[in-house]
Amino acid sequence: MLYAILCYNSEDVVGSWTKDEDDAVMAKLSVVHDKLAKQGKLGPAIRLLPTTAATTLHKGQEPPLVMDGPYAETKEQLLGFYVIDVSGLEEGLDFARELARANPGGAYELRPVGLFLPGSVVT
């Protein structure tokens, strides 16, 4: 069974860590990652960049509306996510608009990825 683990914490608090504190946490995490990876159980892991770097495509309307910042509504639930490799925000938005045409309603938040660990799970 595949599970996604979604990581929540206060961006302010984590952002106020010094580099040493951040490195220490990442080092502790990587011990856990390695253990799971050795068992072939670790899929891709991602650390997102801060929400200030996010852009949101609201697709409940036609044409969808692009707004700066993260998706802040609480009425909807997180149902899934994509990882795409594009030249920049514009290409990312183009792809998101195409997805929106196929599946309107809700929103897509585009958030740049800061750290990408590909993992080793084969399905």
Partner 1 sequence: MTDITWIDGALTSARPQAVGALLRYFRDLDTAEEAFQDACLRALKTWPQNGPPRDPAAWLIMVGRNTAIDSVRRRRKQEPLPADELISDLDDAETALADRLDGAHYRDDILRLLFVCGHPQLPATQQIALALRIVSGLTVKQIARAFLVGESAMEQRITRAKSRIAAADVPFETPGPVERAERLAAVAAMIYLIFNEGYSAIGGPDGVRAPLCDEAIRLARLLLRLFPAEPELMGLMALLLLQHARTAARFDADGCIVLLDDQDRGLWNGKMIAEGLALMDKALRHARPGPYQVQAAIAALHARAARPEDTDWAQIDLLYGALERLQPSPVVTLNRAVAVGKVRGAEAALAMIEPLASRLSGYFHFHGVKGALLLQLGRAAEARVAFDQAIARANTAAEAAHIRLHLDRLIKDSAGDGAPASSQA
- Choose between 73 and 90: whose C-beta lies nearer to partner 1: 90
- Choose between 42 and 55: whose C-beta lies nearer to partner 1: 55
Phi, psi at 117, each rounded to 5°: -110, 115
Tell me the closest approach of the beta carbon of residue 34 to partner 1, in angstroms. Answer: 21
Tell me the closest approach of the beta carbon of residue 21 to partner 1, in angstroms. Answer: 7
22 Cβ contact partners less than 8 Å away, ≥ 6 residues apart: 14
Tell me the closest approach of the beta carbon of residue 123 to partner 1, in angstroms. Answer: 28
84 Cβ contact partners less than 8 Å away, ≥ 6 residues apart: 92, 95
CB of 44 within 8 A of CB of 83?
yes
Tell me the closest approach of the beta carbon of residue 83 to partner 1, in angstroms. Answer: 14
CB-based burial, 19-39: b 16+ in 10 Å, e otherwise: eeeeeeeeeeeeeeeeeebee
Binding residues (CB under 8 A) for partner 1: these are 10, 12-18, 21, 49-53, 55, 66-69, 88-90, 112-115
- Choose between 79 and 88: whose C-beta lies nearer to partner 1: 88
